[in-house]
Structure 1
Amino acid sequence: MRRELFRRGSIIAAVLVAAALSGCAGKQNKPKLAYEERPVELLYATGAQRIDQGRWSEAIDYFEEVERQHPYSEWSRRSILMQAYAYYEGNQYADAVAASERFIQLYPGSPSASYAYYLKAICYFEQIVDVGRDQGSAASALVALREVAQRYPNSDYARDARVKIDMVNDQLAGKEMAVGRWYLRRNQPLAAVNRFKTVVDKYQTTSHTPEALYRLVEAYLTLGLNEEAEHNGAVLGANFPGDPWYSDAYKLLTAKGLEPVAPTETAEKAKKKEGWLGKIIPG
C-alpha cells in the first residue's frame, strides 16, 4: 500500500528519471558527492536510481545535493519529498517526519502536500508499539491521520487514513483496558472505573466496548454502587444483547439480587426490532 500510494502521489519521478537517464546513458559514471556543480537532472536521476535500488542513504545524499546546488528550482521542491520517502524506507522516522514537515511549511499549497501529510502520519503509525508500552506514537498517529482525512477527504490517502484511524482507536482503547484490568487486579476499582469509562466514552466503536461495560459492572459492584452497575449492564444488554460479556454481566448482577433483563430476552428484542425494520426497509 505505501509504495502504491507513493507512486500514485504527486511525485512523478519515474518519468523524469527516464528522460534524464536517456539523455546521459553511456556517458555517466557514478558521480562522487564531493561538491562539483552538475546538471540538476543528473543529480536527481541518480538519487531516484538509488531509491529504486533500495540504497536509501545514498539517495538522500543526492537529493540533498540537488537542494544545495539548485535551491529555488522545481527539482529542489521534489527532492525534499524524495528525502522524506528515503528516510521513511530506511526506518529513520524522525528524519522522515522532519522532512515532511519542512515540505509542508515551505509549500503548503502544493498538490504534493497531501503526500507529505500522509507520510508523516504513516511514520507515527508504524512506530506504534504493543499496549503494554507507552502509546505516544499512537496518539501522534491519530492526530496526523485525522488531519489527512480532514484536509484531503476524497483522496486515496484519506481513505487509507480512515482505516488506520479505526486501528489506532482500537489500540488506544486496548491500552486503557490493560491499565483498567491492572487496577482491578490490585483491588483499585475506582481507578479502574475511570479507564473503562474512557473506553466507553471515547472509543465506543471499537471491539473493546462490550468488555469495558462488563468491567464497569464488575467494578461498580465491588464499590457497592449497585445502581450504576445495573445501568451499565442495561447499556451492555441493549447494545450487545448476544455478546458473552453480557451473559457474564447478567450472572454478576443476579448474584447480587439485581434483576437485569435476561440475555435471551434482549436478543429476542433485537431480532424483533430487526424484523420490524425489515418490513419497512426490505433488506
Structure 2
Amino acid sequence: MKTTHKNLLVAMTVSTLAISGCTSIGKMLDKKPETIATAEKSDAAYYQEATTALDKGYNREAIDALNNIRTFYPTGRYAEQALLDLIYAQYQANDFEAVTASTAEFIRLYPTSQSVDYALYVQGVTNMGGAPKASRLFNLDQAQRDTTYLRLAFQDFQNLLNNYPNSAYAGDAAQRMIAIYNEFAENELVAARWYVKRDALVAAANRAKWVFQYYPTSTGVPEAIAILAYANDNLGLTETANQYKTLLKINYPEYLNQDGSVRLSDTQAKTRGQKLLSAVSFGKLGRANNKTDGYQGQYNGQTRTQVIEQANSLTLPNRNNQ
C-alpha cells in the first residue's frame, strides 16, 4: 500500500481527534480501562479459545471468541490476527455478508499489512459467490443471475494483481478473473440462445455480436460466431453470413454441417457451462497468518506468469454502453 495512503489515514485520524478536543480524548482514555475490565479472559486466552475452536471446526464459537478480542482488546497484540481469523471463520460459517464487512474493515484498519492480499482475495471469492443471502456459486448457474457481484469480484482480484503481483493468491485470483470474464460472455450467450429459440434473430445476433466484440478471448467466441452466421443466414443476409461461416470453417469447423449450414448444439453449451463452474473452484481457502497460511493454489496447464499476464489483459465493458 502506498505511503501517501497511510499518511492520509493518519492525518484524518489526527484531525478527528483535534476537532473532538482534549476533553473527548480524556473520556476515551478514561473508558478504556473500564472496558477492558469487563473482559472475562485475557486476550491470549480468548485467542487460544478461538484457535482451538477453529481447529475443531466450531466456527461460531471461534467467532464469539474473536469478537471478544476485538471488543475488549481493539489495539492489543492479537487484534490484527483476530480480524483475519474472523474473516476465515465467518466464511466457513457461510456468513458471507459479515465476511465482506470484515474484509473491508481489515483493509481500512491495516492498509500496510502484509495480509491485505488475503483480505482482497477472500473478498473477491465471497463476491464471486453472489449476493450474500442468495443461492451460492455451486447451486446456481452464474450466467443466469445478476452479474453485479461478479463485477465486484473481478475488481477485487484486479486490485490484488495490481497491488500484490507476487502474492501467493495472485495466480488463483488471475484464474478467477478469467473465469468471470468467460461468465460474462456466457451471460450474453444465454440471452442469444433464448432469442434463437424464439426466432428473434436480430436480437440473437446483437447479443452474439456483443460477445464477439467485447469478449474476444472468451470461451464463448466460437458459439457467438456460429449464432451470428446462423442469424444472418436466416435473415437473408447471405454475404455477412458467409463471412462468419468462413471464420467457422477455418477456426471452429465443428459448428458447420457437411452441407455448410450452421450447427448450433445445446450439448456444446452445457459442456462449456460445466467447465466454467469448475474453473472457479481453484485452490483451498485457508487461515491467513503473517508467516504461513493454509492456501494451496492449482493451475491448469499454464504457468503462474502466463495466467497472470492473461488476466491483466482482460477488461469488462461497461454494460450501459451496449
TM value normalised by structure 1: 0.70
When Rg is computed on C-alpha atoms for both structures, the one with the higher figure is 1
The range that moved more, 167-176 or 132-141, is 132-141
- CA shift for structure 1 position 35: 4.5
Q: Tell whether the 8 Å contact from 1:176 to 1:196 is kept in structure 2 after alignment.
A: yes
1:67 is aligned to 70
The yes-or-no answer on 1:158 pairing with 2:170 is: yes
The range that moved more, 176-185 or 139-148, is 139-148
- Write the letter of the residue equivalent to 1:82: D
Match of 2:46 among 43, 49, 54: 43
Question: Which ranges in structure 2 are unaligned for 5 or more consecutive residues?
Answer: 1-36, 130-135, 263-322
The alignment-based identity, stated in percent, is 29
Question: Which ranges in structure 1 are unaligned for 5 or more consecutive residues?
Answer: 1-33, 254-283
- CA shift for structure 1 position 37: 4.2
- Write the letter of the residue equivalent to 1:64: N
- Write the letter of the residue equivalent to 2:93: G
Residue 261 of structure 2 aligns to a residue whose secondary structure is: helix
**Cα–Cα, structure 1 residues 250 and 209, in superposed 2: closer, same or farther, change >3 Å?**
farther
The yes-or-no answer on 1:252 pairing with 2:241 is: no
The yes-or-no answer on 1:132 pairing with 2:134 is: no
Give me the whole-angstrom Cα distance separating, in 2, the residues matched to 1:90 and 1:213: 43
The yes-or-no answer on 1:77 pairing with 2:89 is: no
**CA RMSD of the aligned region, Å?**
2.2
Q: Tell whether the 8 Å contact from 2:186 to 2:220 is kept in structure 1 after alignment.
A: yes
Match of 1:224 among 236, 251, 257: 236
Q: Tell whether the 8 Å contact from 1:233 to 1:250 is kept in structure 2 after alignment.
A: no
**Cα–Cα, structure 1 residues 36 and 249, in superposed 2: closer, same or farther, change >3 Å?**
farther
Give me the whole-angstrom Cα distance separating, in 1, the residues matched to 2:234 and 2:44: 71
Give me the whole-angstrom Cα distance separating, in 1, the residues matched to 2:204 and 2:80: 50
Residue 109 of structure 1 aligns to a residue whose secondary structure is: coil
Give me the whole-angstrom Cα distance separating, in 1, the residues matched to 2:183 and 2:209: 16
- CA shift for structure 1 position 53: 1.1
Give me the whole-angstrom Cα distance separating, in 2, the residues matched to 1:249 and 1:63: 65
**Cα–Cα, structure 1 residues 48 and 155, in superposed 2: closer, same or farther, change >3 Å?**
same
The range that moved more, 183-192 or 81-90, is 183-192
2:209 is aligned to 197
Give me the whole-angstrom Cα distance separating, in 2, the residues matched to 1:153 and 1:223: 48
Give me the whole-angstrom Cα distance separating, in 1, the residues matched to 2:148 and 2:225: 25
Match of 2:100 among 97, 100, 104: 97
TM value normalised by structure 2: 0.62
Structure having greater relative contact order (Cα 8 Å, sep ≥ 6): 2
Map Cα deviations across residues 62-101 of structure 1 (whole Å, 9 max, x no partner): 1111111111123112211111111101111111111001
Match of 1:186 among 198, 206, 214: 198
